[in-house]
């Protein structure tokens, strides 16, 4: 069992909070909350591994110099959040927290890696028509211009949504694309078949809260974390084939990249 | 805000966080990254009510928050508009280049070390000759740009690699861990990064000055040297409004082929 490292001992914090509703934490943090915070971080980063035992109540109480009642309060909260299980007569154990995503897209292994994703999932086309390119994508591919053909698709597997991709294709490319839009092929694969092979991708990856459309499509609560990939796919001469934004459920789709030094 | 997906399902309410706050965050992020140009209108109140399935008072509360922050103007009878100075903020919000040391700028990254000590090697780290021994150096830092927190970084270094690394070096300035290791003669030959979107846990929330449950961007990095020894495992939680990761991928053979499975 991994013991709680010394670093997690309680320390006064001097953080200020800026977000509207967050509580002030300077002096106001109760002892129970600090212990809760430490254990919570240890569970999150795996210092206390899934299925492994937490230190016992007397141990926590001694180590952090707090009463059994305070220790219990912190554990109660973690139990309510379903992050630990208490087994009578045995102890307290960490629950498996992160679900292992079903798909792993290794960006450095494109396009080969897409074959696995394409064979095990399908898409629904939500729209394919001319539309303005959103402000936040324009600087990524200025050559596409302010209007393009938008291809919006929802990808899912076993009726579970994985990702919502909005691709903006220049008219020269979009005019080669015929309906019906292939159900399995990714945008990159479709482009290849249209005679627009991708030789380079620039992408920006981050996290965003789900907005109304994404929350509905991906079946998650409003504001919950989604992985966002914005990418430009270019051809041999550096011409942009497409600029796209993909919102992915991080619990179902994993994204990796390997860089060689 | 986009009207893209029209599905029959309703939006899940999500536990613990109020509706107004969820709407506030979505709009706040959209403004932060300039999805609406300066002087452009936001969706109308009835439109937001319909899209988000919330009451007018909830919409108004979210908009009032943004107005109080000076980010929007509400004009009676006309609508809601993005303030002009919002544009300037956009440019300074993504601090990845500064934090990663890939740009020269007057704005410097800094860091505060909250942990630097030997711990029993956590179970999720690979053990063995090329991996971790029975103990590991754990470093936890809060990395900031212009005094605003951007990342909560937890790094695990094998003892062998960490020998010679002092708390002072780690704390001195905002230098990335891998850059510090290069300075010690441990050059990375391969760096694998794994991206995820998570909710801020209480520790991350406090250190990054966010509310618990706000989306954070998680990057887990494993660096190897030329002999395939692990140099570091770094688990980093970034404020999603201040950091994004960039990757450039060259595709040598655009024809599809199967990639070989890789060991983690």
Residue A151 domain boundaries = 110-249
CATH of domain B96-239: 3.40.1410.10
Answer positive or negative: Cα dihedral of A112, B4, B30, B25: negative
For residues B143 and B236, give the distance between their C-alpha atoms in angstroms, rounded to a whole number. 10
Could you tell me which residues come within 8 angstroms of residue A172 by beta carbon, excluding any fewer than 6 positions away?
Answer: none
pLDDT at B69: 77
The answer to whether residue A13 scores a pLDDT higher than 80 is no
Q: Which of residues 73-132 of A touch B (CB under 8 A)?
A: 106-116, 126-127
User: What ipTM does this complex have?
Assistant: 0.77
pLDDT at A168: 96
**Together in a domain, A149 and A74:** no
Question: pLDDT tier at A230 (50, 70, 90 boundaries)?
Answer: very high
Lowest-pLDDT choice from A79-88, B7-16, B107-116: B7-16
What is the CATH number for A27? 1.10.10.10
pLDDT at B83: 81
Across chain A, mean pLDDT equals 83
Residues of B with Cβ-Cβ distance to A213 under 8 angstroms: 1-5, 51
Q: How many residues does chain B have?
A: 264
pLDDT at A15: 35
Could you tell me which residues come within 8 angstroms of residue B121 by beta carbon, excluding any fewer than 6 positions away?
Answer: B127, B132, B133, B134, B135, B136, B156
- Higher pLDDT among residues A181 and A42, named by residue: A181
pLDDT at A218: 95
Residues of A with Cβ-Cβ distance to B29 under 8 angstroms: 208-209
State percent of chain B over pLDDT 70.
81
Identity of the highest mean pLDDT range in A23-27, B38-42, B109-113: B109-113
**Together in a domain, A143 and A63:** no
**Together in a domain, A21 and A132:** no
Lowest-pLDDT choice from A54-58, B32-36, B235-239: B32-36
Residues of B with Cβ-Cβ distance to A112 under 8 angstroms: 256-259
pLDDT at A23: 33
What is the CATH number for A140? 3.40.1410.10
For residues A124 and A155, give the distance between their C-alpha atoms in angstroms, rounded to a whole number. 7
In terms of Cα–Cα distance, which of A52, A51, A73, A70 is closest to A61?
Answer: A70
A200·B199 Cβ contact <8 A: no
What are the pLDDT digits (tens) for B124-177? 888 988 999 999 999 999 998 888 899 999 999 999 999 888 898 888 777 889
Residues of A with Cβ-Cβ distance to B15 under 8 angstroms: 221
For domain B17-89, the question of CATH label 1.10.10.10 is answered with yes
**Together in a domain, A63 and A128:** no
B204·A41 Cβ contact <8 A: yes
Residues of A with Cβ-Cβ distance to B23 under 8 angstroms: 222-223
In terms of Cα–Cα distance, which of A216, A244, A219 is closest to A230?
Answer: A244
Lowest-pLDDT choice from A112-126, B82-96, B213-227: B82-96
The answer to whether residue A225 scores a pLDDT higher than 90 is yes
- Position A245 in a domain: yes
How many domains, in total, are found in chain A?
A: 2
For residues A135 and B37, give the distance between their C-alpha atoms in angstroms, rounded to a whole number. 7
The answer to whether residue B227 scores a pLDDT higher than 60 is yes
**Together in a domain, A80 and A114:** no
What are the pLDDT digits (tens) for B41-54? 888 888 888 888 88
Lowest-pLDDT choice from A96-110, A183-197, A238-252, B133-147: A96-110
- Position A9 in a domain: no
- Position A255 in a domain: no
Question: pLDDT tier at B210 (50, 70, 90 boundaries)?
Answer: confident
Residues of A with Cβ-Cβ distance to B199 under 8 angstroms: 224-225
Question: pLDDT tier at A3 (50, 70, 90 boundaries)?
Answer: very low
**Together in a domain, A63 and A185:** no
What DSSP letter does each residue of A27-90 carry, written as one string? TT--HHHHHHHHHHHHHHHTSS-TTPBPPPHHHHHHHHT--HHHHHHHHHHHHHTTSEEEETTT
User: How distant is the Cα of A188 from the closest Cα of chain B, in angstroms?
Assistant: 10
State percent of chain B over pLDDT 90.
29
Question: Residue A24's closest chain B neighbor by CA?
Answer: B206
In terms of Cα–Cα distance, which of B115, B111, B114 is closest to B151?
Answer: B111
State percent of chain A over pLDDT 90.
48
A18·B188 Cβ contact <8 A: no
- Position A212 in a domain: yes
**Do residues B152 and B207 touch, judged by C-beta distance below 8 A?**
yes
**Together in a domain, A38 and A136:** no
Size of interface A-B (CB pairs under 8 A): 277
Q: Which of residues 211-250 of A touch B (CB under 8 A)?
A: 211-217, 219-228, 250
- Higher pLDDT among residues B125 and A135, named by residue: B125
Under DSSP, the state recorded for B132 is: B
Under DSSP, the state recorded for B164 is: T
Q: Which tokens is B49 given?
A: 């009510």
**Together in a domain, A162 and A48:** no
- Higher pLDDT among residues A15 and B218, named by residue: B218
- Position A4 in a domain: no
Lowest-pLDDT choice from A15-19, A64-68, B241-245: A15-19
B26·A210 Cβ contact <8 A: yes
């Amino acid at each position: 069992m991994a013991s709680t490292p010394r670093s997690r001992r309680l320390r006064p914090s001097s953080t200020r909070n800026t977000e509207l509703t967050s509580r002030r934490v300077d002096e106001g943090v109760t002892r129970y909350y600090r212990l809760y915070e430490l254990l919570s971080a240890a569970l999150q980063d795996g210092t206390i591994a899934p299925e492994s035992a937490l230190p016992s109540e007397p141990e926590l109480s001694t180590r952090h110099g707090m009463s059994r009642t305070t220790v219990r309060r912190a554990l109660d909260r973690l139990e309510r959040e379903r992050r630990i299980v208490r087994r009578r007569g045995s102890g307290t154990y960490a629950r498996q927290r992160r679900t292992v995503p079903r798909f792993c897209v290794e960006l450095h292994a494109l396009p080969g890696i897409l074959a696995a994703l394409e064979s095990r999932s399908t898409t629904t086309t939500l729209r394919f028509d001319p539309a303005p390119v959103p402000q936040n994508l324009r600087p990524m591919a200025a050559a596409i211009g302010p209007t393009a053909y938008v291809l919006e698709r929802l990808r899912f597997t076993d009726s579970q949504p994985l990702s919502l991709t909005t691709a903006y294709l220049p008219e020269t490319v979009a005019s080669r694309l015929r309906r019906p839009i292939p159900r399995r092929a990714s945008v990159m694969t479709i482009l290849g078949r249209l005679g627009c092979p991708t030789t380079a991708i620039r992408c920006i990856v981050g996290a965003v809260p789900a907005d109304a459309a994404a929350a509905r499509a991906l079946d998650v609560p409003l504001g919950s974390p989604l992985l966002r990939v914005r990418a430009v796919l270019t051809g041999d001469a550096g011409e942009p084939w497409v600029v796209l934004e993909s919102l992915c459920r991080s619990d179902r789709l994993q994204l990796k990249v390997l860089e060689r030094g | 805000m986009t009207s893209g997906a029209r599905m029959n399902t309703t939006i899940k309410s999500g536990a613990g966080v109020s509706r107004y706050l969820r709407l506030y965050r979505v709009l706040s992020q959209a403004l932060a990254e300039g999805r609406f140009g300066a002087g452009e209108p936001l969706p109308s109140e009835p439109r937001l009510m319909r899209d988000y399935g919330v009451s007018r008072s909830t919409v108004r509360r979210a908009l009032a928050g943004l107005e109080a922050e000076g980010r929007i103007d509400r004009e009676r009878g006309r609508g809601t508009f993005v303030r002009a100075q919002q544009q300037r903020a956009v440019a300074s919000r993504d601090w990845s280049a500064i934090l990663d040391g890939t740009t020269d700028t007057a704005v410097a990254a800094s860091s505060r070390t909250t942990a630097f000590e030997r711990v029993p090697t956590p179970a999720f780290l690979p053990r063995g000759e090329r991996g971790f021994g029975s103990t590991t150096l754990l470093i936890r830092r809060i990395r900031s740009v212009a005094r605003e927190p951007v990342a909560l970084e937890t790094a695990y270094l094998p003892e062998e690699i960490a020998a010679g690394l002092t708390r002072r070096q780690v704390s001195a300035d905002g230098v990335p861990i891998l850059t510090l290791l290069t300075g010690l003669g441990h050059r990375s030959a391969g760096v694998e990064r794994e991206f995820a979107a998570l909710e801020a846990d209480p520790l991350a929330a406090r250190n990054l000055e966010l509310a618990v449950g706000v989306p954070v961007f998680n990057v887990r990095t494993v660096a190897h040297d030329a002999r395939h020894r692990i140099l570091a495992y770094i688990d980093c939680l970034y404020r999603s409004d201040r950091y994004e990761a960039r990757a450039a991928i060259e595709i040598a053979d655009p024809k599809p082929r199967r990639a070989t499975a890789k060991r983690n």
